[in-house]
Structure 1
Amino acid sequence: MEWWQAVILAILQGLTEFLPISSSAHLILPSQLLGWPDQGLAFDVAVHVGTLLAVMAYFRHDIVKLTNGFVDSTFLAKPNMDGKLAWCIILATLPAGFLGLCLNGSIETYLRDALVIATTTIVFGLLLWYADRQPNLSKSIAEIGFRQAFLIGCAQALALIPGTSRSGITITMAMLLGFDRQAAARFSFLLSIPLILLAGSYKTYEMLTTTHPIPWSFIFMGALVSCVSAYICIYFFLKLIEQLSMTPFVIYRLLLGAFLFLGVAMGWFI
C-alpha cells in the first residue's frame, strides 16, 4: 500500500467510524472498486487506536466522571447518575462483545460483499430516517435506564454486519426509544469506547503474535491521521446535530447504496 492510499483510508476510517454512514461501505470502494491492496492487520490496529484516542480525548471529562461514579456506586455504596450511566455503557457493550468473540470475524468474512453492504446501507438508512421523524425525541442522556441501554447494545450488535454503521444503528435505536439527537449521539460515542478498546486489543494481540514484520511507520501515521479526522468528526457532528436532522445522512446513505447496487450490476467490483 502506498503512503497516500494509507492516508486516505485513515481519514475515511476516522470520519466514518462516528458518522452514521457506515465505514465498511466506504472502505469497500477503494479496495474493490479501485483495486487497492488490503490494508492489512497492522493498519487496522493503527486506525482503531487512532479513533479510540480521539473519542477518549473528546470525552475525557465524561470519562473521569463516569469512572469516579462507577467506583462510588460499586465499591463505596454511593449510587449516583454517573455510576448508573457507566453501568449502562457496560451493559450495552455486552451483546456486541459477546457476538464478536463468538463469531470471531466470520460475519465480516462471509458478508463483506458489495451487495450485502449496499442493502444494509439503504435499509438501515431508511430506519434512521424513520427514527429521526418520531415526534417525542425529548429524553436526555440522564434518563437512560438499563432496559434502554440493553436494547441499544443489542442494536449495536447488528453493526457486525457490514454496511449497518455502528454509530448509525445505536443512534437510531436511541431515538426510537425517545432520546433526543444530542443524547443519542453522545451515548453512541461513549458506547464506542469499550467496543473499540476490545476490538483494538484483540487486533493488537493478533498483530503481536504474527510472524510478519510490523510496519511501525505505517502504524504511527495511520493512528495519527485517523485520530485527527475522528476528533474533528465528533466535534462538528455534535455541534451540527443540535441544528440539523439526520436527513442529510439518510440521503447520503441512499445515494451511496444506489451507487453500490449500480457497481454490482455493472461488475465494477473486483
Structure 2
Amino acid sequence: MELIQIILLACVQGLTEFLPISSSAHLIVTPLLFGYALQSLAFDVAVHVGTLAAVMLYFRQELVRMTIAALLSLRDRSLADPDARLAWMVIVATAPILALGLPLKTLLELLRQDDDLVGLVIVGTTIGFGLLLWLADRLGRRHRDEYGIGWGSALVIGLFQTVAIIPGTSRSGITMTAGLFLGLTRQAASRFSFLLSIPTILIAGLLETKELIDSPTPVAWDELWLGALLSFVVAYLTIHFFLRFIERVSMFPFVVYRLLLGGLILWVVLQ
C-alpha cells in the first residue's frame, strides 16, 4: 500500500467507526473514489484494533469501575450499584450479535458475490437508516442516561446492533437510533453505543484474525502498525469531540451527510 493510502484509510476508519455514518461503507467507497485496490483483511483488522484501543482508553475509568462492580454483583446478586447494572446491560446487549452474527455474516457473504447488489444495498442502508436516525432524534423523549437502561432496552439495542452487519448501516448509528427511540439522551445513547462497541469490535476482530491466520497472504507489518496507530489517534479524538458537542449539535448534520453519501455511492455504482 502507498503511504497516502494507509493514512487516508486509517483516518477514515478512525473517524467513521464511532460516528453514525457507517465505517464499512466508507472503507468500501474510499478506495473506489481514489482509484485504489480494496485494502487487505490484515489492514482491516489493524485499523479495527486501533479503534478498539481508542475506545478502551477513553472509557478506561468507567471500564475499571464496571468490571469491579460486575464481579462484586456475582457475589451478592444485586444490581444496586449503577456501574454493575451498566456492565450487565452491555453484556445483555452483546448477546444478540453472538447468537445471530455468524448466520447473518454467512448470508451476506453470498450477497457480496454481486458487486452491484452490494452497492445498492449500501445505498439503501445509508439513506434509510439515516432517515431512521433523524426520526429517532426528533421523536425520542431524551429523558434518561445510560444508567437507566433496563434488561428489555438493552436487548432491543442489541437486536438493533445485529442489523449493522449489513454494510452501510453503521453500528454506532443503529445503536444510537435504538437508544434515542428508548428515551436516552443523545450523549447517553452515544456513550452506551461506544461501550457496546468494545465487546462487539473485539468479537469481530477475533473472527477476522482467525481468517487472517488461515490465509496464506503475507503480512506487511509496518503498514499494519502505522494504520493501527493512526486509526487509534483519530478515533480517540472523534469520541472526545463527538461527546462534547452532540447534545448541542443534534443528529441532523449526520443525517444530511448520510443522504449525500448515499447519493454519491449510487452515482459510483451506476457508472
TM-score (norm 2): 0.93
Equivalent residue, structure 1, for 2:124: 119
Equivalent residue, structure 1, for 2:247: 242
**What code does the residue aligned with 2:83 have?**
D
Distance change >3 Å, CA 85–CA 135, structure 1 → 2: closer
Equivalent residue, structure 1, for 2:36: 36
2:174 aligned with 1:169: yes
Equivalent residue, structure 1, for 2:156: 151
2:224 aligned with 1:219: yes
Aligned-partner SS, 2:5: helix
**What code does the residue aligned with 2:255 have?**
V
Aligned-partner SS, 1:214: coil
Measured after TM superposition, the shift of residue 97 of structure 1 is 2.5
**What code does the residue aligned with 2:4 have?**
W
Counterpart contact for 1:28–1:114, Cα < 8 Å: no
Q: Percent identity among equivalent residues?
A: 52
Measured after TM superposition, the shift of residue 205 of structure 1 is 2.4
Counterpart contact for 1:108–1:160, Cα < 8 Å: no
Measured after TM superposition, the shift of residue 135 of structure 1 is 5.4
Equivalent residue, structure 1, for 2:210: 205
TM-score (norm 1): 0.93
106-115 or 142-151: bigger deviation: 106-115
1:132 aligns with one of 119, 133, 137: 137
2:108 aligned with 1:107: yes
**What code does the residue aligned with 2:180 have?**
M
Aligned-partner SS, 1:183: helix
Show structure 1 runs of 5+ residues with no match. none
Aligned counterparts of 2:210 and 2:96: Cα–Cα separation in 1? 22
Measured after TM superposition, the shift of residue 144 of structure 1 is 0.4
Render the CA deviation track for 1:146-187: whole Å, top value 9, x for unaligned: 100000000000000111000000000100011110100000
**What code does the residue aligned with 2:247 have?**
E
Distance change >3 Å, CA 16–CA 109, structure 1 → 2: farther
Measured after TM superposition, the shift of residue 32 of structure 1 is 3.0
Aligned counterparts of 2:259 and 2:67: Cα–Cα separation in 1? 39
Measured after TM superposition, the shift of residue 66 of structure 1 is 0.8
198-207 or 217-226: bigger deviation: 198-207
2:62 aligned with 1:62: yes
Equivalent residue, structure 1, for 2:16: 16
Counterpart contact for 2:28–2:38, Cα < 8 Å: no
Equivalent residue, structure 2, for 1:49: 49
**What code does the residue aligned with 2:223 have?**
F
Aligned-partner SS, 2:216: coil
1:259 aligns with one of 245, 259, 264: 264
Provide the aligned length of Structure 1 versus Structure 2. 266
Show structure 2 runs of 5+ residues with no match. none
Q: Over aligned residue pairs, what C-alpha RMSD do you find?
A: 1.6
Distance change >3 Å, CA 32–CA 110, structure 1 → 2: farther
Aligned counterparts of 2:104 and 2:137: Cα–Cα separation in 1? 31
**What code does the residue aligned with 2:25 have?**
A
**What code does the residue aligned with 1:85 have?**
L
Aligned counterparts of 2:183 and 2:212: Cα–Cα separation in 1? 41
Aligned-partner SS, 2:167: coil
1:185 aligns with one of 182, 190, 195: 190
Aligned counterparts of 1:109 and 1:245: Cα–Cα separation in 2? 37
Measured after TM superposition, the shift of residue 129 of structure 1 is 0.4
Aligned counterparts of 2:149 and 2:84: Cα–Cα separation in 1? 12
**What code does the residue aligned with 2:220 have?**
P
Equivalent residue, structure 1, for 2:91: 90
2:7 aligned with 1:4: no
Measured after TM superposition, the shift of residue 208 of structure 1 is 2.7
Counterpart contact for 1:96–1:160, Cα < 8 Å: no
